[in-house]
Structure 1
Amino acid sequence: GLTLPLLFLFAALHCVARVFVGPSMSAIAPNIVPPASLPRAIALSSIAWQVGSVFGPAAGGLMFAASASLPYWVSAGLMFAATISLSCVKPVHPPRMERKIHPIRQMIDGLRYTWSERFLLGAITLDLFAVLLAGATAMLPVYARDILMVGPDGLGQLRAAPAVGASVVALMLAIRPLRHNVGAKMLWAVVVFGVATIGFGLSHEIGSHVFGDARIGFLNMGAGMAVALISLIILGASDMLSVYVRSSLVQLNTPDEMRGRVSSVSGLAISASNELGELQSGVAAAALGPVGAVVFGGVGAILITGMWARLFPELKNARTFEPQYRGSNP
């Protein structure tokens, strides 16, 4: 029968598969999409991800209500369909190497290359530390139950709000990609991300002081909940803009022979920032309370952005997505 150790085993195998799938998918895109169209392709890919983030949990809940095993069968079927779709992509031939390199050596080379390229290092670590501090989504259940007191239905709305903002921005970027001052816009997007995090953290207080106990009529919800949703939508929108610019810059500023390894380093940073960010939020909440933890994270994200703008001026000086910093050493 199904046991807890077996569930942990399957979860670990799933994570192992993701370790290989993520960098591979990131490395394939620049080889099948022209460089000029890559930012638009990244935006379209983000739309698909965000739509799945919004509708996937809701669809899973409805299927689970009908049959406990149905969500898993549907998920397996969708994964099979995705496998068939990927098999239709023409083979991407790896760049020729003068000699065969041991896999461990390749990983070391990827880390060394990322460390030696200030532009890539700054872009990847900006996301790592900003999200590591501003992990507001980990506090959503606490806010829904204890602070905003909106219950499970409200929690669902809070969970969907960042994806809504991100989807809207991704659609706009797919229609009209950024072309100028991309580095500065990425940095300002992270600042807005931090401000929106603070706004969400103080949503109950802002709603109480500005609107009192009044309810927002056309939204049919309390003022604190309305402020929280607006803050989370802005948070998701700014995060999408930052991810869009950073992903495009990292992909286009990495040579073909290093793209898979740099994508692995970037994926490691993203995973670490998400999971460790939630851990940091929990520890901070235990020390400062949930509101203090969220506000602390937002302020931290803003301070990190200011520090990175000074430590890595290459980021704010990036005018377009064209490669222009390759070969710089710290």
Structure 2
Amino acid sequence: MAAPPHPLTIHNFRAYWLSRFSGTIAVSAMSIVIGWQVYNIARLSMGVNEAAFLLGMIGFAQFVPLFLLTPIVGLVADSVDRRWIVRATTTLLVVTAATLGYLTWSDQLTLSALFSAAVAFGVARAFSGPAYSALAPNLVPRESLPTAIAVSSIAWQVGTIAGPSVGGLLYAIHPDVAYGTATVLFLIALLFMFLIGPVPQPPAQTDHRPLARIAEGFRYVRRNRLVLATITLDLFAVLLAGATSLLPVYARDILKVGSQGLGVLAAGMGIGAAITAIFFSFRPMSTNVGVKMLISVVIFGLGILTFGVATPITNALGLYPGRIDLFGETFSVAPAFLLSLIALIIAGGADMVSVYVRQSLIQLHTPDAMRGRVSAVSQLTISASNELGEFESGVLASVLGPVGAVVFGGVGAIAVTLGWARLFPELGAARTFDPPDMLAIEPQHGEAKP
């Protein structure tokens, strides 16, 4: 039997990959700059905890439109050409980036403008997320899909590495330069999306029952316990351990590394995730997928926990910043910063394992005619875990302080994983991605077959 074609040998998938790569760099760069600007403006009149709360509110501003629009966007992704959905939302991001760049350049930027941009981000992502996810399986043969998911994740994860670093460095030159670069990258993403040729669309629905079709997506997720388990595990683990929203707090007031250090920290999880995604693109996971997902989420929680306590640990051990000479230059080395970065890299690699398993299960277990709606449900939980997790972290930081909030989240993620392993034995029983061979569990009883 001939090996399945590699996704990057397919023209439409290459254009899709390059579009996602460029767009992810731009989104990541804008996200880190917006967070840094919100925190800096807030610190002019607020303390650390109060300013951290506003960082959480930025996440909440992105979550609200995602939450409200999720029932609609899944139906749209199953009814409208998915390429045009992504083209329209990328255009909105072009306008948003250009507007923030102009306001920054003209010294008219305010917190209200930054929060409005966050809402626009939420609207764009609400529509583009399900469309992007549902589009990928239409571009490659089914047997190439697990590799396509890994390769697509490389575009996203490498973008999350380059984006924050580029954003932080360009912000150090001037904030409007960062926004100008993001605008150009969004335009490039839009161009490549227009280069994708015609792709298969699910059969047109003529029952004129949109509410029933929307509910069908939620019912499918609820009835498929394995898909439900993977989606909700990610929801609660990342919701609790959403420490990345507090990176501006750590960069400015705890680690004291400024905007350049912020870019490096923000790229940390992306570095680990990209390494893992590259590995899976050459060696796709094929055995014991459920157990590996559970282990990876525990490691993710431990990584976040270590990041949270890196500064107290190094201070307690008497490890303070030192200097080294390399290539004739003197560099300052902060042990707390290095430990924080390593912890984030490990957390990112572990999170990528979870993402890889979850996305493969969802795409391979869902009929194409429902992929948009099921992807919308998945996106809602991802958004709840990310943006709502940022809100949760901001609220906790205002009460427990930034370190206490991160520690609480890391411990919580580990506890949730242990609970899910017991509540959903289907996860531990998942051996491969192949639906007929995957479940060794009777759904109606939740007990292992004899």
TM-score by length of 1: 0.89
Tell me how far apart the structure 2 counterparts of residues 125 and 73 of structure 1 sit (CA, whole Å).
34
Tell me how far apart the structure 2 counterparts of residues 187 and 282 of structure 1 sit (CA, whole Å).
27
1:18 Cα deviation (Å)? 2.6
In the alignment, which residue of structure 2 is the partner of 1:266?
378
Q: Deviations over 1:23-42 (max 9, x none)?
A: 12212222332333222111
Of the candidates 241, 259, 281, which is equivalent to residue 174 of structure 1? 281
Given that 1:43 and 1:244 are in contact with CA atoms closer than 8 Å, whether structure 2 keeps it comes out as yes
Given that 1:216 and 1:226 are in contact with CA atoms closer than 8 Å, whether structure 2 keeps it comes out as no
In the alignment, which residue of structure 1 is the partner of 2:24?
none
2:182 aligned with 1:75? no
Tell me how far apart the structure 2 counterparts of residues 79 and 158 of structure 1 sit (CA, whole Å).
25
1:48 Cα deviation (Å)? 0.9
Tell me how far apart the structure 1 counterparts of residues 408 and 113 of structure 2 sit (CA, whole Å).
38
Equivalent position amino acid for 2:398 in 1: A
In the alignment, which residue of structure 2 is the partner of 1:91?
199
Tell me how far apart the structure 2 counterparts of residues 301 and 309 of structure 1 sit (CA, whole Å).
12
In the alignment, which residue of structure 1 is the partner of 2:361?
249
Where relative contact order (Cα < 8 A, 6+ residues apart) is larger, the structure is 1
| Residues 78 and 125 of structure 1, relative CA distance in 2, 3 Å threshold | same
| Residues 269 and 75 of structure 1, relative CA distance in 2, 3 Å threshold | same
| Residues 312 and 291 of structure 1, relative CA distance in 2, 3 Å threshold | same
| Residues 327 and 33 of structure 1, relative CA distance in 2, 3 Å threshold | farther
2:258 aligned with 1:148? no
Equivalent position amino acid for 1:33 in 2: V
Moved more, 251-260 or 279-288: 251-260
1:319 Cα deviation (Å)? 0.5
Q: Deviations over 1:126-158 (max 9, x none)?
A: 111111000111121111222222222222211
Tell me how far apart the structure 2 counterparts of residues 229 and 13 of structure 1 sit (CA, whole Å).
31
1:275 Cα deviation (Å)? 0.8
1:161 Cα deviation (Å)? 1.0
Q: Deviations over 1:226-271 (max 9, x none)?
A: 1101101001111111101111111111222322211110011111
Question: Which residues of 2 match residues 1-330 of structure 1 at below 5 A?
Answer: 12-59=119-166, 62=170, 65=174, 68=177, 70-71=180-181, 73-86=183-196, 88=197, 90-95=198-203, 100-210=207-317, 212-213=319-320, 215=322, 217=324, 220-323=332-435, 324-325=438-439, 328=443
Structure 1 spans left out of the alignment, 5+ residues: none
Equivalent position amino acid for 1:186 in 2: M
| Residues 101 and 51 of structure 1, relative CA distance in 2, 3 Å threshold | same
| Residues 182 and 74 of structure 1, relative CA distance in 2, 3 Å threshold | same
| Residues 8 and 83 of structure 1, relative CA distance in 2, 3 Å threshold | farther
Moved more, 31-40 or 267-276: 31-40
Tell me how far apart the structure 2 counterparts of residues 255 and 206 of structure 1 sit (CA, whole Å).
49
1:59 Cα deviation (Å)? 4.1
Tell me how far apart the structure 2 counterparts of residues 55 and 200 of structure 1 sit (CA, whole Å).
21
1:79 Cα deviation (Å)? 3.2
Tell me how far apart the structure 1 counterparts of residues 385 and 175 of structure 2 sit (CA, whole Å).
36
Equivalent position amino acid for 1:183 in 2: G
| Residues 266 and 203 of structure 1, relative CA distance in 2, 3 Å threshold | same
Tell me how far apart the structure 1 counterparts of residues 113 and 315 of structure 2 sit (CA, whole Å).
48
1:216 Cα deviation (Å)? 7.8
1:160 Cα deviation (Å)? 1.2
| Residues 67 and 306 of structure 1, relative CA distance in 2, 3 Å threshold | closer
Equivalent position amino acid for 1:106 in 2: R
Tell me how far apart the structure 1 counterparts of residues 309 and 262 of structure 2 sit (CA, whole Å).
17
Given that 2:166 and 2:263 are in contact with CA atoms closer than 8 Å, whether structure 1 keeps it comes out as no
Tell me how far apart the structure 2 counterparts of residues 92 and 75 of structure 1 sit (CA, whole Å).
27
Given that 1:251 and 1:259 are in contact with CA atoms closer than 8 Å, whether structure 2 keeps it comes out as yes
Aligned-partner SS, 1:321: coil
| Residues 230 and 14 of structure 1, relative CA distance in 2, 3 Å threshold | closer
Equivalent position amino acid for 2:310 in 1: S
Tell me how far apart the structure 2 counterparts of residues 267 and 312 of structure 1 sit (CA, whole Å).
21
Tell me how far apart the structure 1 counterparts of residues 261 and 182 of structure 2 sit (CA, whole Å).
26
Moved more, 113-122 or 14-23: 14-23
Tell me how far apart the structure 2 counterparts of residues 47 and 288 of structure 1 sit (CA, whole Å).
36
Equivalent position amino acid for 2:425 in 1: P
Tell me how far apart the structure 2 counterparts of residues 220 and 262 of structure 1 sit (CA, whole Å).
49
| Residues 24 and 230 of structure 1, relative CA distance in 2, 3 Å threshold | same
Equivalent position amino acid for 2:188 in 1: L
Tell me how far apart the structure 2 counterparts of residues 177 and 202 of structure 1 sit (CA, whole Å).
34
Tell me how far apart the structure 1 counterparts of residues 344 and 401 of structure 2 sit (CA, whole Å).
19
Equivalent position amino acid for 2:187 in 1: G
Tell me how far apart the structure 2 counterparts of residues 234 and 260 of structure 1 sit (CA, whole Å).
32
1:223 Cα deviation (Å)? 1.2
Q: Compute the RMSD of aligned alpha carbons.
A: 2.8
TM-score by length of 2: 0.66
